[in-house]
Amino acid sequence: MKRKDSKGFIKEVMKFYEGLSKYYSAKNQKVYWKDAYEEYLQNLHRQQHKCSFKDICMCNTKKILNLYDDFNNAIPTIRLYHAIERDSGNFDHIINPVEMYLPKIVTPRIIDQRIKNQQGLFMLIPIDFDPDPNPKPDLDPEVKTKKRRNRIQSRINTLLYTNKENEAVAFTIPCCMKEKIRKELSNIGISKSFIYPDATHYAEDIADSYLN
């Protein structure tokens, strides 16, 4: 997407969050994220089966329905749909903006041998927003940045192996073991040229075989 469209889409996501935060201000936050999209999809299902729209108006869910409709009908969102279709083909035009809040592990498209061999995954970092409806304008920039970093990290930690303090657990490979691990990997065919299948790394593997 163009930078202008990308910024416009983020604004639409933020606008959605602001509306949803007001609607769920008195509710538990777990319910806030869990129920919103389910209620929206249930109401879409009811509309498709021509249930009484009066019933929907009678319940608070109509407010959520309007928030989602406004988001999905916004011009930046529609432009995002077009960008996705160019890459992935047709799909249902119902993006869940709540998903923009959550981190994800993404599998890349297999477009060349290197990506196929690496079998790598990517992390999609979520959009950040301040959950405080009345943030302090005089807050120190460093404190504000630290709070923002902590908010994002706490969400990323949901994908990681963490301890009781919700801190990511790191596994350190001792330096003295690296050479042994490389040789074991090489014995099963995983070498530089496997990870980076190009002429330069093939040549390096051949040279290493003579050195070792």
The residues spanned by each domain of the chain are 1-98, 102-171, 175-211
- The larger pLDDT score, comparing residue 161 to residue 131, is at 161
Confidence band for 53, pLDDT divided at 50, 70 and 90 = very low
Q: For 95-111, what is each residue's pLDDT tens digit?
A: 778 777 778 888 888 88
Alpha-carbon span 159 to 123, nearest angstrom? 9
Please enumerate in sequence order all residues whose Cβ is within 8 A of that of 46, keeping only pairs 6 or more positions apart, or say none.
Answer: 55, 56
- Measured CA angle at 56 (ends 54, 62), to 5 deg: 130
Q: For 35-49, what is each residue's pLDDT tens digit?
A: 555 665 666 555 544
Angle between helices 61-73 and 29-48 (to 10 degrees): 80
Distance of CA 167 to the CA centre of its chain: 20
Whole-number percent of the chain with pLDDT over 70: 74
Choose among 1, 137, 16: nearest CA to 67.
16
Confidence band for 174, pLDDT divided at 50, 70 and 90 = very high
Confidence band for 181, pLDDT divided at 50, 70 and 90 = very high
What pTM value is reported for the model?
A: 0.57
Confidence band for 178, pLDDT divided at 50, 70 and 90 = very high
Specify the amino acid at residue 42.
Q
pLDDT at 57: 41
